[in-house]
Amino acid sequence: MNDYVELRLDLDPCEEYMTDLLAAMLADAGYESFVPDASGLTAYVRECDYATDVVEDMVGALPFDAQCVWKVTRIEGRDWNAEWEKNYFQPIVVGGDCVIHSTFHKDIPQCTYDIVIDPKMAFGTGHHSTTSLIIGRLLGMDLDGKSMVDMGTGTGILAILASMKGASPVAAIEIDPFAYTNAVENVRLNSQSEIVLLEGDAARLGDVAFAADLFVANINRNVITADLPRYADAMVAGGVMLLSGFYVEDIAVVREAAEACGLTYVDYTEHNNWACVKLTKV
């Protein structure tokens, strides 16, 4: 059950926007973790969710001009945290006020908010533009006493930061069982026991015992637009919503769906063409 498939895609030429786009397309297909580099992208998906035809169709219809060579490798279940320690996860400072690191890191920069994340195969270590964009937003907000829902929490990092900044109560929802377990561990590591963690999709919003002053969703465009009515219903009037997991070009689609739910568009921030949209509930 913990076995994975490693998909390696080499691009010629290779540019950052290409690997970002590949990661977004693969995320829609159920892939969980992505490691871009100068030559392409390595992506991971549970073996039971891997489909050759999905990769063939994607490579055959790339929305950019590049040669793509790909291969797959089956990886037996292992200590994924050790794999991240050896190969991928490095400490990161966001906004000058928040450092994100793992238990195995040394010489950690001193910041106001010190978050410990021991990632398994879960998205959201802070390195991806979408996560860091929302972190930057949260760092600039007064969250003291504000209720917060983090939809698609991944590693739990956004809920943890909000709780550290005084948000209360906080609920975090995650559909993937492995990511959910990881979030539970990370919440414990950061001594944020008041965060309520729920496993499931947007239907679990019905189990949240409060309306949110702040609603955050870092997923992907299709899931967000489909679930926006539920998101809006879970907020207080005057509440703030932060959405990410999609490109700047997708803002118009997200905005249209949001406004149909009674939400008002405020603005957006971007990094590497990824967007973070801010909305308010009338």
Report the share of the chain in percent with pLDDT over 90: 61
Secondary structure (H, E, C), 15-72: CHHHHHHHHHHHHHCCCCEEEECCCEEEEEEEHHHCCHHHHHHHHHCCCCCCEEEEEE
Top pLDDT among 91 and 190 is at 190
pLDDT value at position 88? Answer: 55
CB 97 within 8 A of CB 161: no
Top pLDDT among 102 and 66 is at 66
pLDDT value at position 24? Answer: 81
Report pLDDT digits (tens) over 225-273.
999 999 999 999 999 999 998 889 999 999 999 999 999 999 999 988 8
d(CA 175, CA 167): 23
Report pLDDT digits (tens) over 152-187.
998 899 999 999 999 999 999 998 887 898 899 999
- Which residues touch 279 (CB under 8 Å, ≥6 apart)? 240, 241, 243, 258, 263, 264, 265, 266
Q: pLDDT band at residue 128, thresholds of 50, 70 and 90?
A: confident
Inter-helix orientation angle 157-164/129-139, to 10°: 10
In the predicted model, is pLDDT for residue 115 greater than 60?
yes
Helix (H) or strand (E) holding 217: strand 212-218
In this structure, how many other beta carbons lie within 10 angstroms of the beta carbon of residue 152? 24
pLDDT value at position 119? Answer: 64
Counting every residue written for the chain, the total comes to 282
CB 160 within 8 A of CB 115: yes
Report the share of the chain in percent with pLDDT over 70: 91
Average pLDDT over residues 134-146: 97
In the predicted model, is pLDDT for residue 82 greater than 70?
no
pTM (predicted TM-score): 0.74
Inter-helix orientation angle 157-164/177-189, to 10°: 30
Top pLDDT among 274 and 70 is at 70
In the predicted model, is pLDDT for residue 19 greater than 60?
yes
- Residue 91 structure tokens: 């400490």
Q: pLDDT band at residue 137, thresholds of 50, 70 and 90?
A: very high
Helix (H) or strand (E) holding 137: helix 129-139
In the predicted model, is pLDDT for residue 32 greater than 50?
yes
For the chain, which domains are there? Answer: 4-78 (3.30.70), 137-281 (3.40.50.150)
Q: pLDDT band at residue 81, thresholds of 50, 70 and 90?
A: low
In the predicted model, is pLDDT for residue 89 greater than 70?
no
pLDDT value at position 122? Answer: 46
CB 241 within 8 A of CB 231: yes
